Amino acid sequence: MLDRLIEFAQFFFVTGDPLIYGAMVSIALATIAILFVLTYFKKWGWLWKNWLTTVDHKKVGIMYILASILMLFRGGVDALMMRAQIALPDIHFLHPEHYNQVFTTHGTIMILFMAMPLMFGLFNIAVPLQIGARDVAFPFLNALSFWLFFMGAMLFNLSFIIGGSPDAGWLSYPPLSELSHSPGVGQNFYIWGIQISGIGSLATGINFIVTIIKMRAPGMTWMKMPMFTWSVFASCVIIIFAFPILTVTLALLFLDRFGGGHFFTLDLGGNPMMYINLIWMWGHPEVYIVVLPAFGIYSDVISTFAKKRLFGYKSMVFAMLIISVLSFFTWAHHFFTMGSGADVNAFFAISTMAIAIPTGVKVFNWLFTMYRGKLSFPTPMMWAIAFIPNFLIAGLTGVMLAVAPADFQFHNSYFLIAHFHSALIGGVVFGYFAGLYYWWPKMFGFTLPENLGKWAFWFWNIGFYVCFLPQYSLGLMGMTRRISTYGWDTGWAPLNFVSTIGAFLMGIAFLFQVAQIGVGIKNYRKLKASGDPWDARTLEWSIPSPAPEYNFATIPQVTDRDDWWEEKERRKQGIYKEEQPIEPIHMPKNSAIPFIMSVCWFVAGFGFVFGWLIFIIPGLLGVAACMIARSFYSYDADYYIPVDEVKRTEAAIRGGSV
């Protein structure tokens, strides 16, 4: 009996690596500490009522952001381990199998479990407030989306200590991801973690499209929407067309592994290239899913701190919509080397170059917005300005990669690694940091200390250039991606060592950001912000910070683009809009079903990973029970906030009578 338990433990848990043992101990200690704090301070009820069952879009947004910061830490540690392994030749910090697992989890976590939830968090924080709405169109679905993402991320991360991490790369090309090359359960964790999370992502895309179309304040026509809201709309259009492709692709891979489907094997008529086409039909639009909202953030931040209207508003809107369409016609540039033929390569080379045109339009519009503006440089503006040279490098190297003959030299080299990190860090992450600093007072009612923010900014930027600029040269010198060691004779050692120093500088920058948040929480009374600490332009800054549960006591009547800025200008002239009477406010009630249903999906997903019916059946039955309960028994799902309560709340947060 004891031998069988030991054998099962060796199969079930990841053993033999001191780093993983350290992770197990850290996870256990952190879990015990959290349970102790919640119990000692009697916060279980508070946690359940205010967070686990909430459908408030602002709290859902905060949970998304907290989860993404946690995933940034996990993915960042993976990156530092990789850079430590290849800092110099013949280092034995990570064995090759572990290295393969680390670069697989790093890419998957950073794209799907860090960038996506950070993006969704900012959607939730800003969009309903920018369009003058009291919530998203489907609050219940919004909460369910978050918990599906969270449970999918937790299931994926569980593979680090249970069963073994996937090691077939972040896009899991066959045959590496088939049973023949990945017989363990790591690839199953990949499939089900992403599948469960992806359901939530698709639901979020649908939710915000409906919210933007149907819930804009009276008078807010399409051409009066803030640019961030436009960018969210364009991103969600891509989501609803791209994510079903990912869902189907991973379902077919699951059938290959569990049902002998042979969709992507060379046996029995399958074709691995079909998988590669399908995954990139999702994968390249995914790049624009995450970068378009960053473009919207830059637009709002730059116009705010330049004290000017955004230059070329209509051209910016059309550029975003053109990008959202063209993003589906560029996927094959990821495999120019795979024998598609000259005609196919030429088409995708031209389409890839064409998408640089609307992107270039946006950069010039931001520069013209700043031209002769009354510029100020708080932390959000610094991140926005730092983006421009970074993304210029990403764009120029992207056009180089779009030249099919040249790509035969660049393909799968460190030149490509440097390019897409320039786009995804210099474009996406810098943009989301700008948005996070910009909307932080709106979330929590206080600004973050600028001195620590500037230290973080400079460490991030210097570290970014030191890390990735050498990688362009390494790629041209012949260094290919995904190698875990190399020899002194290659001549790659000096540039790799410099690149690793840059990676650790970015790690230090993250620690400054954590310290900045900690100091901000400690001194929040000194850093307390007004409803409009930036003298901003859009509607979210017309209400107190943080926003009350119902957002707006009365729905705003929009008359201008940048309506809040124009309203402030009118007030300086003594002109005020007629105040609308306060009426009872209809709000959704909290619900435990999203959390419970997501836990059931986690249980079912865990069962599918190991093929254990004892988890699959109860998990799926729980999902079905939650759907039935929501459909047939959740009649008491909303309530009204009385006028007197609204007036008391407004008087308390505004410091006067209403």
15, 98 Cβ separation under 8 angstroms: no
Instruction: Record the pTM.
Output: 0.96
481: alpha, beta or left, given left = phi > 0 and alpha = psi -120 to 50? beta
Give the mean pLDDT of 311-328: 96
| Phi and psi, residue 579, nearest 5° | -70, 135
pLDDT band at residue 483, thresholds of 50, 70 and 90? very high
pLDDT in tens, 48-97: 999 999 999 999 999 999 999 999 999 999 999 999 999 999 999 999 99
HSE (side-chain half, CA atoms, 13 Å) at 264: 29
For residues 458-480, average pLDDT:
97
CA-based nearest residue to 445, from 105, 19, 62, 171: 62
The 3 state secondary structure assigned to 366-421 is: HHHHHCCCCCCCCHHHHHHHHHHHHHHHHHHHHHHHHCHHHHHHHCCEHHHHHHHH
Judged by phi (left if over 0) then psi (alpha if -120 to 50, else beta), residue 163 lies in left
Q: Is residue 410 predicted with pLDDT exceeding 80?
A: yes
Q: Does residue 176 contact residue 275 with C-beta atoms inside 8 Å? A: no
Q: What is the mean pLDDT of residues 340-369?
A: 93
pLDDT at position 655 is 66
The string of DSSP letters for 485-549 reads ---GGGS-HHHHHHHHHHHHHHHHHHHHHHHHHHHHHHTTTTTB--S-TT---SGGGGS-SSPPT
- Would you place residue 656 in the very low, low, confident or very high pLDDT band (cuts 50, 70, 90)? very low
Spatial distance between the Cα atoms of 606 and 611, rounded to a whole number of angstroms = 8
Instruction: Please say if the pLDDT value at position 498 is more than 80.
Output: yes
Q: Can you give the pLDDT at residue 525?
A: 84
Residue 657 has pLDDT above 70, yes or no: no
- To the nearest whole number, what is the mean pLDDT of the chain? 94
Contact 108, 170 (CB under 8 A): yes
> What's the pLDDT at 239?
97
SS3 (DSSP) at 587:
strand
Residue 491: per-residue pLDDT: 95
Report pLDDT for 577: 83
For the stretch 443-452, pLDDT in tens is: 999 999 999 9
Is residue 148 scored above 90 in pLDDT?
yes
**What is the SS3 assignment for 550?**
coil
For residue 142, pLDDT over 80 is answered with yes
Q: Is the pLDDT of residue 15 over 90?
A: no
Q: What is the mean pLDDT of residues 391-410?
A: 92
**Residue 524 confidence (pLDDT) above 90:** no
Say how many C-beta atoms besides its own lie within 10 A of residue 15's C-beta. 13
Please give the share of the chain, as a percent, with pLDDT higher than 90. Answer: 87
pLDDT surpassing 70 at residue 658? no
pLDDT confidence of residue 101:
95
pLDDT digits (tens, 9 = 90+) for 244-276: 999 999 999 999 999 889 999 988 889 999 999
3-class SS at 131? coil
Asked if the model's pLDDT at residue 280 lies above 90, the reply is yes
CA 465 to chain centre: 22
> Residue 101 and residue 625: Cα distance in Å, rounded?
36
Per-residue pLDDT, 579: 82
Give yes or no for a contact between 207 and 142, defined as CB atoms under 8 angstroms apart. Answer: yes
Is residue 654 pLDDT above 80, yes or no? no
- The dihedrals phi and psi of 182, each to the nearest 5 degrees, come to -130, 75
